[in-house]
């Protein structure tokens, strides 16, 4: 009991220190910057899991929030601070600091702890993402090191409607983390009206005793209008962890994972006094941890609806079903499936 109280006390002190640091930093930023824009979101809800209630909780009542400061330092230089907090760890975390340089018309340079440009989900902000949950494929890509954030240098350009003469988006970056992994990314997209097609490549080079170099490929196509959107995305990437394990067993270390993901959504304008828009959506994914043994895989069927009470306030309902077949069973397991409902507010 005393150890538990000590852990809670340390967490509370860290949380208080972070809040103090923010309160001291932001007024200073306001005095030196030309312009500071604040944005963020808050969410609270409940998740109900398909778990063994004897071994672990099968309900989670949660809350989370984000506070982002975009600081305009000059005409061509911006900085960003992104703080996150949730009920899982009850502390504020500096998730991103980055500085962006805009010296060129078709190029932006960003340095800091930023997102790796490997997938659609990895690049979309939480407050713009349609489902409550990331897909199973994205979570696996993050565990393998292809997705997520690292400290790095990124050169990129995002297509803008006001420049139709250059219908392209691209990103190229080099990243490094504290696990001795250096990664490099290339991603390019073409836009035509509501149609977008993208190809991506990533390589991870791990040094040290378990040195290994792996490669990943991604491709997607999507179409979007004001009333609907749909995307189809595919991945084919090496598993570094499984590769190292098999190397120790004198087996072929080139183990490739494969996955497909589709997301479709419709938007119905209600324009009522309470409800403005209803957005039903469905996400389907297929993921095989070893493409050479694709009979062992995970299917994901996510159905949900976003009810917009305002442009920035929505009620979100989602049922995320996972069907997993592995080497130890001939039948699908639903372990890890979850139903969630939350209130989401952005500002």
b/e burial code for range 137-174 (CB count within 10 A of at least 16 → b)? bbebbbebbbbbbbebebebbeeeeeeeeebebbbbbe
How much is the average pLDDT of 6-25?
Answer: 48
| Beta-bridge partners for 122 | none
- The whole-number pLDDT of residue 9 equals 44
Asked if 153 and 111 touch (Cβ cutoff 8 Å), the reply is yes
Cβ neighbours of residue 329 closer than 8 Å, sequence gap 6 or more = none
- The whole-number pLDDT of residue 13 equals 45
* Distance, CA of 237 to CA of 117 (rounded, Å): 15
Query: Taking the domains of the chain in order of start, what are their residue ranges?
Result: 1-104, 130-141+159-347
- The whole-number pLDDT of residue 27 equals 53
Q: Mean pLDDT lowest for which of 167-171, 178-182, 301-305?
A: 178-182
Asked if 201 and 185 touch (Cβ cutoff 8 Å), the reply is yes
Q: Tell the burial category of 344 from Cβ atoms under 10 Å away from its Cβ (0-12, 13-18, 19+).
A: buried
**pLDDT of residue 19 exceeding 90:** no
Write the pLDDT tens digit of every residue in 34-68. 689 999 999 999 999 997 776 677 889 999 999 99
Q: Is the pTM of this model over 0.75?
A: yes
Determine the topology of domain 130-141+159-347 in CATH: Porin (2.40.160)
């Amino acid at each position: 009991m005393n150890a538990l109280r000590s852990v809670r006390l340390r967490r509370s002190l860290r949380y208080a220190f972070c809040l103090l640091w923010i309160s001291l930093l932001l007024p200073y930023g306001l005095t030196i910057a030309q312009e500071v824009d604040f944005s963020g979101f808050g969410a609270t809800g409940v998740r109900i899991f398909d778990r063994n209630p004897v071994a672990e909780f099968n309900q989670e009542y949660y809350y989370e929030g984000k506070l982002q400061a975009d600081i305009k330092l000059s005409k061509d230089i911006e900085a960003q601070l992104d703080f996150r907090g949730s009920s899982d760890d009850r502390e504020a975390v500096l998730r991103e600091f980055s500085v962006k340089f805009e010296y060129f018309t078709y190029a932006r340079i960003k340095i800091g702890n930023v997102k790796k440009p490997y997938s659609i989900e990895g690049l979309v902000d939480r407050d713009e993402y349609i489902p409550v949950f990331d897909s199973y494929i994205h979570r696996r890509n993050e565990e393998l090191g292809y997705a997520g954030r690292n400290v790095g240098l990124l050169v990129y350009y995002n297509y803008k409607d006001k420049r139709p003469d250059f219908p392209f988006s691209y990103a190229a970056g080099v990243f490094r983390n504290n696990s001795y992994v250096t990664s490099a990314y290339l991603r390019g997209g073409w836009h035509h009206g509501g149609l977008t097609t993208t190809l991506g490549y990533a390589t991870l080079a791990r040094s040290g005793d378990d040195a290994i170099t792996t490669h990943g490929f991604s491709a997607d196509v999507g179409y979007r209008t004001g009333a609907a959107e749909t995307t189809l995305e595919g991945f084919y990437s090496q598993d570094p962890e499984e590769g190292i394990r098999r190397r120790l067993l004198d087996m072929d270390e080139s183990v490739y994972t494969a996955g497909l993901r589709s997301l479709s959504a419709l938007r119905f304008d209600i324009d009522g006094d309470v409800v403005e828009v209803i957005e039903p959506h469905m996400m389907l994914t297929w993921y095989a941890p070893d493409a050479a043994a694709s009979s062992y895989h995970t299917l994901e069927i996510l159905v949900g609806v976003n009810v917009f009470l305002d442009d920035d306030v929505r009620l979100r309902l989602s049922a995320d079903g996972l069907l997993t077949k592995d080497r130890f069973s001939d039948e699908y397991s639903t372990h890890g499936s979850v139903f969630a409902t939350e209130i989401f507010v952005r500002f």
